[in-house]
Structure 1
Amino acid sequence: MEAISHAGTCLGILSTDGILIAAEKRNVHKLLDDTVLAEKIYRLSENITCTVAGITADANILINHLRW
């Protein structure tokens, strides 16, 4: 639960003209390199996109599983 409390915000808005997807990249650990922040928005297929919050390594496992 501590990891998710430090996670950035993810947001998706659906309108009649399209979809807006946004994700905040937040570095809360002093030892992490600011220039190598991981992606937070993933395209799973031609018509499916998702955003992730929390630990990026966990998200990568889930994203790879969803792409299969």
Structure 2
Amino acid sequence: MAKTFTRNPLCINEKRHAGEAMKAKNENLLTRAHARAFIFLHADATFLIAIRKRILYHTFKVKEFDRCFR
């Protein structure tokens, strides 16, 4: 097999840098997606806690409710 030579050796470096940039971009997007997922999970948990408190408040006497959540 004949050896193939690149016309411009900088092409290899450019491709490598482009690959690294793409990898960094993907990592950044993944980090953002994780942060977004955490925010939504936290919001859901906060909402569920608020619902639970409201149910307890309406179910029990105010005195017992205050004892539970202070």
TM-score normalised by structure 2 residue count: 0.22
User: Which structure features the higher share of helix residues?
Assistant: 2
User: Which structure features the higher share of strand residues?
Assistant: 1
Larger RCO (CA within 8 A; separation ≥ 6) = 1
Q: Rg bigger for which structure?
A: 2
